[in-house]
């Protein structure tokens, strides 16, 4: 493959997450297919960033595509869990409120980025990445099982609290930053403090 074309591989992987995410909506009632496509979709998210960093193929456009692909993936999963599978009936009120709070803060950060830095983008902080992983593992379990049991509501609420804090860190980074950098790893990077 032409070296110039290779640098587009991360963007191609990110872009592939759009149709794969939409496919999940149609596969929600076919657990085996859902899990297979879900794993492939998740792998595109891991590989695009890894390849971009490993081979210095990063670009501002790629970071934006990745951020929006992540949002589409998240929204598709939310639609599957709440709409298609109707698992909202199993969720406690505190989990539903937590989901709403996280979604609202995520939107605030997105619009704040647009207002302050004149671009639509999301950050790839370590906290955002690490808090997403437990949800990534749990979603196919919920879809395959078709229900969310009582103790899982407690786990979900705890995870949502941590995700909320991760997004609050993003808000703080956006507030303190003079320039936008989608790859800011944590608040410590802005404050120039070693963790």
- Mean pLDDT confidence for 74-88: 82
Buried b (16+ CB within 10 A) or exposed e, 114-131: eeebeeebbbbbebbeeb
The predicted structure's pLDDT at residue 80: 86
Quick check: 25 and 79 in contact, CB under 8 A? yes
Window from 47-56, 110-119, 142-151 with minimum mean pLDDT: 142-151
- Mean pLDDT confidence for 93-116: 92
| Among 3-12, 24-33, 181-190, the range of highest mean pLDDT | 24-33
The predicted structure's pLDDT at residue 41: 95
Compute the C-alpha angle 157/150/33, nearest 5°: 85
The whole-angstrom separation of Cα 18 and Cα 76 is 9
- Mean pLDDT confidence for 52-62: 88
The predicted structure's pLDDT at residue 2: 64
- Mean pLDDT confidence for 10-14: 94
Question: What 3-state DSSP class applies to 42?
Answer: helix
The predicted structure's pLDDT at residue 6: 81
DSSP symbols for 122-157 = ----HHHHHHHHHHHHHHHHHHHH----HHHHHHHH
- How many other C-beta atoms are found inside a 10 Å radius of the C-beta of residue 99? 20
């Amino acid at each position: 493959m032409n070296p110039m074309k290779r640098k587009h591989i991360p963007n191609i992987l990110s872009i592939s997450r759009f149709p794969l995410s939409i496919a999940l909506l149609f596969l929600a009632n076919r657990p085996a297919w859902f899990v297979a496509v879900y794993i492939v979709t998740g792998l595109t998210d891991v590989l695009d960033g890894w390849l971009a960093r490993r081979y210095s193929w990063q670009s501002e456009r790629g970071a934006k595509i990745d951020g929006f692909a992540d949002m589409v993936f998240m929204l598709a999963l939310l639609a599957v869990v709440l709409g298609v599978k109707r698992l909202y009936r199993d969720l406690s009120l505190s989990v539903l409120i937590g989901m709403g709070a996280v979604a609202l803060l995520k939107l605030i950060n997105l619009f704040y980025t647009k207002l302050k830095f004149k671009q639509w983008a999301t950050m790839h902080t370590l906290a955002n990445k690490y808090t997403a992983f437990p949800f990534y593992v749990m979603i196919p379990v919920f879809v395959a099982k078709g229900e969310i049991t009582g103790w899982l509501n407690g786990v979900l609420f705890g995870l949502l609290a941590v995700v909320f804090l991760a997004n609050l860190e993003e808000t703080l980074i956006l507030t303190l930053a003079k320039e936008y950098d989608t790859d800011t790893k944590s608040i410590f990077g802005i404050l120039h403090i070693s963790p």
